[in-house]
Amino acid sequence: MTGFSYARGDTWIHDPRQHGTRRMTAAAPGALRVAYCADPVPALLERPGTLAVFTFDGQSAPPGSDPRRLGVLLAPLAGRAPCERWSVEADVSHGRDGDVRWACGGGWRFVAIEADEDAQGGLEAATRYVYDRLLGHAAGHPERHCLRIWNYLDAINAGAGDSERYRRFCSARARSMAVHGLERYPAATAIGHHGVHGRLQVYALCAAEAGVALENPRQVSAWNYPRRYGPDAPNFVRAMQLPRGGLAISGTAAVLGADSHHLHDVTAQATEAIANLRALLAGARLPAFAAASPLKVYVRHLADAARVSAVLERELAPSVPRLLLQGDVCRRELLVEIDGWRLAEGS
């Protein structure tokens, strides 16, 4: 072990002034918890400490629902998906700030916003709108560090070359981040949905304490992608080490260096994505994925579901919770992408 760490409960906490070890054996006090749950949404919202509840049935939550509820516009590859619940060991308050829905407690904040492109004047305007609102909201509260963002947009691969909608989204996102003077990029996911036409969904995890960004030595940092991948690079870090322990992992695909690999081979792409995930765990000196590592697997083609499941069974312990969703990856040659969490056991 290099550097200096100190014990808080059962958990070794990295001292950011040193090159230390973060060894998680149990959740630190105040850590964020994330789990997939079969319970109905109202029961999850009623439980103490619930910060957010996500459904995955391809539909937005009904208007006027609890602001902590988000209906992700992605559908499961098979059957009914569980809900995802974020929780904290603290009292939670929640509300609305214009179009922004928020919840906070224990130093954590959930922020969500949805916008319709037609109502905002197009994809770029809608992206600017949601990012301006979201970053503005976060900056005005104690939980001002935006650590992790999810972006779900319609028809992500429509358009050729630099007119591709994902590239246009990247440019508008970059502009909003620049205007807000965002100094540190969050970890992120950007996936195409087939839900409501033209609807953009963005939600974020923010915290009162800063995180520590982590890059992948197997990959060029996304913000350094070469020009051939678009006029404005995607502004995200590969993973974020969370305050009080845990790693939030960005969407991870079969990208080596800056380039997509294993074209037309979903099995090899899924295997490479998991190799990239393992490199992030190694970088954070974390043990292998286990029960406290909920993963989300976005698969472009329904027909690839069985092949991707087989890779997950081969590569991951049976205890690793995994949610398979139909989602379009932001480069059209990429067939599968995985994101998720490596949290402390017992969280």
Q: Which is nearer to ligand 3EB, 92 or 334 (CB)?
A: 334
Pairing of strands 295-299, 322-326: parallel
Q: How far is CA 184 from CA 60, 212, 235, in A?
A: 30, 10, 9
CA distance 85 to 68: 10
| Least gap, CB of 99 to ligand 3EB (angstroms) | 21
Helix (H) or strand (E) holding 79: none
* Sites of contact with ligand 3EB (CB under 6 A): 151, 188-190, 222, 234, 236, 250-251, 253, 255, 330
Kindly give, in sequence order, each residue whose CB lies less than 8 Å from that of residue 300, ignoring residues fewer than 6 positions away: 326, 327, 328, 329, 334, 335, 336
Q: Which is nearer to ligand 3EB, 27 or 149 (CB)?
A: 149
| Least gap, CB of 251 to ligand 3EB (angstroms) | 3
Kindly give, in sequence order, each residue whose CB lies less than 8 Å from that of residue 37, ignoring residues fewer than 6 positions away: 44, 82, 83, 84, 85
Q: Which is nearer to ligand 3EB, 151 or 326 (CB)?
A: 151
Q: Is 313 a catalytic residue?
A: no
Q: Which is nearer to ligand 3EB, 222 or 311 (CB)?
A: 222
Q: Which is nearer to ligand 3EB, 247 or 330 (CB)?
A: 330
Q: How far is CA 73 from CA 1, 304, 335, in A?
A: 44, 20, 19
| Least gap, CB of 299 to ligand 3EB (angstroms) | 14
CA distance 324 to 273: 14
> Please, which residues bridge with residue 207 across strands?
108, 145
DSSP three-state, residue 247: strand
CA distance 141 to 284: 29
Angle, in degrees to the nearest 10, between helices 165-179 and 123-139: 30
Q: Which is nearer to ligand 3EB, 86 or 298 (CB)?
A: 298
**Strands, E assignment, 67-144:** 69-72, 83-87, 93-97, 100-105, 108-116
Q: Which residue is nearest to ligand 3EB (CB)?
A: 251
Q: Which is nearer to ligand 3EB, 11 or 276 (CB)?
A: 276
Contact 23, 285 (CB under 8 A): yes
114, 117, 337, 345: which one is catalytic?
Answer: 337
Contact 325, 76 (CB under 8 A): yes
CA distance 183 to 237: 12
Catalytic residues: 337
